Homo-oligomer: A and B are copies of this chain.
């Protein structure tokens, strides 16, 4: 597709995938990032199993909302259907990232949420990061990657969470998915998630009885940075991944 917006979308998705490497969130071919053009319902996503150092912007794979490839070329990420499911359910997001980053994956493997233990967490996520139950056997036998998305969405619903304020979910025994306003935002959320997972882990090791922070601190810090009363920064998006 020669459409200027789509070429730009591919470049943004390429940049965001490379940012995973720069932030040390992936090794080898672990992880993938996508973005969606909401006007055209076109998704650009990393190709499956291609080394980051060989990746080029034009290698990003274009698909529609049913997962059909829109151009000749490489196969999309094997996790593509999870991304699509998130784009369907979380209507305002425009980027998704999936990693097996070290500390976030530790919590996913332990099947434990990342409790909000401090303002580093509260600055970016409005509460605990949930972890899904391990996926059921019938979901594995069915459309596994789609069902992974369904599981995330179900988990958010059952816990009454708002995807626009908690932009991350751990998948039990697996890894993390994060999202945001763009591919870049989704990677930024992954980087913050990894940092707070690390801090949370060691906090629990040194003080096993630690509890989530009180709502007043959570409110103060999250709302300093988000929403109409935010007073942090210079009145522009604070989400960026470098």
Q: A224: CB under 8 A from chain B?
A: yes
CA distance A238 to B108 in the complex (A): 24
Interface segment, one of A7-15, A82-90, A196-204: A196-204
Instruction: Report the contact-size class of chain A (Cβ under 8 Å from the partner).
Output: 35 or more
Cβ-based interface call for A112 (8 A): yes
- Judge whether A111 is part of the interface by a CB distance below 8 angstroms: yes
A42 at the interface (CB under 8 A from B): no
Contacts of A55 in B (CB 8 A): none
Bound complex: CA of A67 vs CA of B234, how far in Å? 17
Please report the C-alpha to C-alpha distance between residue A4 and residue B231 in the assembled complex, in whole angstroms: 31
- Residues of B contacting A213 in the complex (Cβ-Cβ under 8 angstroms): 134, 173
Taken together, the copies of this chain in the complex come to 4
Query: Residue A229 at the B interface, CB < 8 A?
Result: no
Contacts of A198 in B (CB 8 A): 102
Q: Is the CB of B240 within 8 A of A51?
A: yes
Does A175 sit within 8 A of B, measured CB to CB? yes
Chain B residues near A108: list those with CB within 8 A. 118
Q: Does A70 contact B (CB under 8 A)?
A: no
In the bound complex, do residue A206 and residue B112 qualify as a contact, i.e. CB atoms below 8 Å apart? Answer: yes
* Contact (Cβ within 8 A) A173 B119: yes
Q: In the assembled complex, which residues on chain B have CB atoms less than 8 Å from the CB atom of A53?
A: 242
Q: Which 10 pairs from chain A and chain B are nearest by CB?
A: A49-B233, A110-B207, A109-B203, A109-B118, A106-B202, A109-B117, A100-B120, A119-B174, A78-B232, A137-B216
